[in-house]
């Protein structure tokens, strides 16, 4: 059975398992106070070209969203996100559990529009009753989005400019950041992102790690007593060096971006084949998630041999399905899938 249903179904890149094996008899101090975490942080700061950045390691994406949004959003405010944003839909209310409203904008294939953000804020502050309402307090976007789509560097800068105009930090969820930065046509580098966003994270769980997200506060703007806030959210890993070890490995010899690119090369091949065979790509997403609108017989035929992801119903007879490649997808798997299409 071929598996293209998601990008988090294999344990970790071999280099990470080797690093784990290699260090397994060593003893490290707890809670991220070890030398491997220190090394990993330095490597990430270097890769970001941000000597003033602070790097923190968390275990998972929803956890990172909850901890970071709660830490950077004032008590009187909410987080602005597009309706399809992960915290608005697929985090079981983790943000509201932390006391903050998710203020939603329409999405455009998953993307937020800077002008719409500006209009939203302008309308808010112009409303005579706005003190009875939830203030827009920070901006959340994901790169790439839930639909695999990407911002251009100019779009990202425009969003940051609007966010800062209204005194909001821009937070970028990078659960699949590697797949975004290495997508065909992407004009954003890690350094660009660090220069533009106020805080973002580099997703490990979906890009080669067993688990782990590296949160980067880009300009010495870590919230006060952030370690305590992490602990308070139950998010502080006792053996913190296991997080450091994975990111230290991923940020050695550019491994993170190299293995991410592999997924995009595979996805580009599959997209080309789909187009050639007359399939309808649901939207033009350049990253490792391919969305394709299929009728039921086609889905049934394909699912005999390959696991696909379910996205949403398109109409009474069609469904949007997801084909997801990953750092571990092989040429052979791609060829097998294309043969089935």
Segment (H or E) for 18: helix 14-22
Q: Exactly one of 164, 225, 275, 301 binds its own copies (CB under 8 A); which one?
A: 225
Least CB distance from residue 230 to its own copies, whole Å? 8
Among 234, 277, 278, 297, binds its own copies (CB under 8 A): 234
Closest CB to its own copies among residues 28, 155 = 28
Q: How far from 111 is each of 141, 195, 260, 305, CA to CA, in Å?
A: 8, 20, 21, 33
Secondary structure of residue 285 in the 3-state scheme: coil
Question: Between 31 and 279, whose beta carbon lies closer to its own copies?
Answer: 31
CA separation for the pair 70, 277 (Å, rounded): 47
Among 166, 224, 212, 219, residue whose Cα is nearest residue 193: 219
Residues 90-149 that bind its own copies (CB under 8 A): 90-97, 99-102, 128-129, 131-135
Q: How far is the CB of 61 from its own copies (least distance, A)?
A: 7
Instruction: Tell me how far, at minimum, the Cβ of 247 lies from its own copies, in Å.
Output: 16
* C-beta separation of 180 from 172 below 8 A: no
Q: Which residues, 153 to 172, sit near its own copies by CB under 8 A? A: none
Q: Rounded to the nearest whole angstrom, what is the least distance from the CB of residue 79 to its own copies in the complex?
A: 10
Residue numbers 2-61 binding its own copies by CB under 8 A: 3, 6, 8-12, 14, 17, 20-21, 23-31, 59-61
- Per-residue burial over 296-317, b = 16 or more CB atoms within 10 Å of its CB, e = otherwise: eebeeebeeebebbebeeeeee
Residues 176-215 that bind its own copies (CB under 8 A): 205-206, 210-211
Q: Which is nearer to its own copies, 277 or 332 (CB)?
A: 332
The SS3 call for residue 275 is helix
Nearest CA to 17 out of 278, 246, 334, 288 is that of 246
Give the shortest CB-206-to-its own copies separation in angstroms: 8
Residues 306-325 that bind its own copies (CB under 8 A): 310
């Amino acid at each position: 059975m071929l598996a293209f249903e998601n990008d988090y179904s294999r344990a970790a890149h071999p280099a990470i398992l080797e690093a784990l094996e290699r260090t397994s008899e060593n003893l490290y101090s707890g809670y991220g106070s070890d030398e491997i975490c220190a090394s990993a942080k330095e490597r990430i700061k270097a890769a970001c070209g941000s000597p003033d950045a602070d790097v923190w390691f968390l275990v998972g994406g929803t956890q990172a969203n909850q901890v970071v949004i709660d830490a950077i959003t004032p008590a009187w405010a909410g987080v602005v996100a597009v309706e399809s944003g992960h915290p608005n839909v697929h985090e079981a209310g983790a943000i509201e559990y932390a006391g903050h409203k998710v203020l939603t904008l329409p999405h455009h294939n998953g993307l937020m529009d800077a002008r719409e953000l500006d209009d939203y804020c302008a309308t808010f502050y112009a409303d005579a009753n706005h003190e009875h309402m939830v203030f827009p307090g920070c901006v959340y976007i994901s790169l790439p989005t839930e639909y695999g789509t990407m911002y251009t560097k100019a779009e990202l800068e425009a969003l940051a400019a609007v966010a800062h105009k209204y005194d909001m930090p821009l937070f970028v969820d990078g659960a699949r950041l590697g797949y975004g930065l290495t997508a065909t046509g992407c004009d954003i580098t890690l350094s660009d992102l660090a220069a533009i966003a106020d805080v973002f994270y580099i997703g490990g769980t979906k890009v080669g790690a067993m688990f782990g997200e590296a949160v980067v506060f880009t300009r010495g703007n870590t919230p006060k007593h952030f370690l305590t806030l992490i602990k308070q959210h139950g998010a502080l890993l006792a053996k913190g060096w296991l997080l450091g070890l994975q990111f230290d490995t991923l940020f050695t010899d550019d491994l993170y971006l190299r293995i991410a690119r592999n997924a995009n090369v595979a996805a580009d091949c599959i997209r080309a084949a789909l187009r050639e065979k007359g399939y309808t790509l649901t939207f033009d997403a350049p990253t490792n998630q391919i969305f394709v609108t299929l009728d039921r017989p086609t889905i049934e035929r394909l699912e005999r041999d390959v696991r696909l992801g379910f996205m949403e119903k398109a109409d009474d007879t069609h469904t949007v399905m997801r084909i997801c490649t990953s750092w571990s997808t092989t040429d052979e798997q791609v060829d097998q899938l294309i043969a089935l299409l």
